[in-house]
Amino acid sequence: MSEIHYPGGVRPKGEIARKTPTKKKKNLTIAAGNRGMDFETEINQTNDYYREKDLAVFHKRPTPISIVKVDYSRGAKITEAYFETQSTTDYNGIYQGHYVDFEAKSIRGKTSFPLSNIPPQQIAHLKAVLRHDGIGFFLIRFATLNRVFFLPASFVIDFYEKRERASIPLEEIEAHGKEITAGYRPRYDFLPILDELFLK
Amino acid sequence: MSEIHYPGGVRPKGEIARKTPTKKKKNLTIAAGNRGMDFETEINQTNDYYREKDLAVFHKRPTPISIVKVDYSRGAKITEAYFETQSTTDYNGIYQGHYVDFEAKSIRGKTSFPLSNIPPQQIAHLKAVLRHDGIGFFLIRFATLNRVFFLPASFVIDFYEKRERASIPLEEIEAHGKEITAGYRPRYDFLPILDELFLK
């Protein structure tokens, strides 16, 4: 309903796109602190590829932003706003008729994935998705190791709810997940994993 | 990946929530120009109800915003940003294992629904959803008439692509859609329509 909400607030066609956090292209020699962003770009490119080839339709949900002030005298310029926490995961969509929902996380540690990276509402959301027969998973990148894993949401939820450990050890991720070798296009090809784990 | 992107940018717990365009509560005697907002609130409340009762999991995608300047000296305060057009529809989620995608539109006209309310990328997106065996539809509110209709995306896409008329006449909407009587909770109960049209 953007047309009704933001008269004049939509960027005029032809105007140069402004930088947004989700669209930045980073070069390859980025600082470690920015690797999360880079992973997001790679996932977005993977999703773009799947849509172009009409293999699946996945989109990143926009980052929710809480708007405080808008200057309508200048074409709906937002002058005060704050980032909010996503109440769901970052990505969802459809593959072969199935609802698919996932979250991508890039971390710097080498030995385990700290559960503190997953807010409770993402666990609650993914539990709801599984209850309604959707497919849920995490894509976890160990940036320093340059390794990416597909982890089913069911495994992460179980681990999270047992509360025995604050981090999932790499060995557990290797045992219960699937490693994804980086490619050119798509960057991280996870559809074969969906086929194998959920659609056989 | 918000934790990595916005260090300190997430609203601290306990702080009073700031107003956002998607969360405003309007009273019932709103001006006609704001009825689109009110309809959005009603749809959000309907989705909240379905989630609370665990009947379905639908969420509104956040409004995409292009961020130009962030003041990190003050806890990631966004000081310049602009509204962007949603590249998909506003709502999606899962119902009984099925991927569901829909758009809600409130208009003031009394005789027809102008197709100019639907940006081309929403048509393209809904076509992709249908190709991948998802469920797609529109919820259309004739604010002045106080009538709400469920219209399958397939009908809207056909009408849109024929390009014979710039608006869908109300009689066509009555013939090809389903009118939804407003209730208390949920406000607009469209799950029985999904059952009837798609899940029999």
Per domain, the residue ranges of chain A are 20-198
Q: Kindly report the nearest CA distance between residue A164 and chain B, in angstroms.
A: 23
In chain B, which residue's Cα lies nearest the Cα of A103?
B1
Q: Kindly report the nearest CA distance between residue A88 and chain B, in angstroms.
A: 8
Query: For residue B12, is pLDDT > 60?
Result: no
* Res B86: pLDDT: 85
Do residue B1 and residue A90 have CB atoms under 8 angstroms apart?
Answer: yes
**Residue B80's pLDDT band (cuts 50, 70, 90):** very high
How do residues A125-169 score in pLDDT, each as one tens digit? Answer: 999 999 999 999 999 999 999 999 999 999 999 999 998 999 999
CA distance B38 to B27: 9
CA distance B81 to B64: 10
* Res B85: pLDDT: 86
In sequence order, which residues have a C-beta less than 8 Å from that of residue B30 and are 6 or more positions away? B37, B38
CATH of domain B20-198: 3.40.1350.10
How do residues B13-58 score in pLDDT, each as one tens digit? Answer: 333 333 344 434 333 333 444 444 489 999 999 999 999 999 999 9
* Res B99: pLDDT: 98
CA distances from B89 to A50, A117, B86, B171 (A): 18, 29, 7, 25
CA distance B129 to B153: 10
CA distance A48 to A67: 29
Q: Kindly report the nearest CA distance between residue B10 and chain A, in angstroms.
A: 5
How do residues B123-144 score in pLDDT, each as one tens digit? Answer: 999 999 999 999 999 999 999 9
Do residue A132 and residue B94 have CB atoms under 8 angstroms apart?
Answer: yes
* Res A86: pLDDT: 85
Question: Which residues of chain B are within 8 Å of residue A82 when distances are taken between CB atoms?
Answer: 9, 11, 18, 75-78
Q: What is the ipTM of this complex?
A: 0.81
Burial class (CB within 10 angstroms; exposed 0-12, middle 13-18, buried 19+) of B51 = middle
Do residue B132 and residue A95 have CB atoms under 8 angstroms apart?
Answer: yes
* Res B186: pLDDT: 95
Crossing angle of helices B120-131 and B153-162, rounded to 10°: 130
Q: Is pLDDT larger for residue A196 or for residue A17? A: A196
* Res A133: pLDDT: 97
Nearest CB neighbour to A3, from listed B65, B95, B117: B117
Query: For residue A186, is pLDDT > 60?
Result: yes
In chain B, which residue's Cα lies nearest the Cα of A40?
B1
Question: Which residues of chain A are within 8 Å of residue B64 when distances are taken between CB atoms?
Answer: 62
pTM above 0.90, yes or no: no
* Res A32: pLDDT: 40
* Res A6: pLDDT: 32
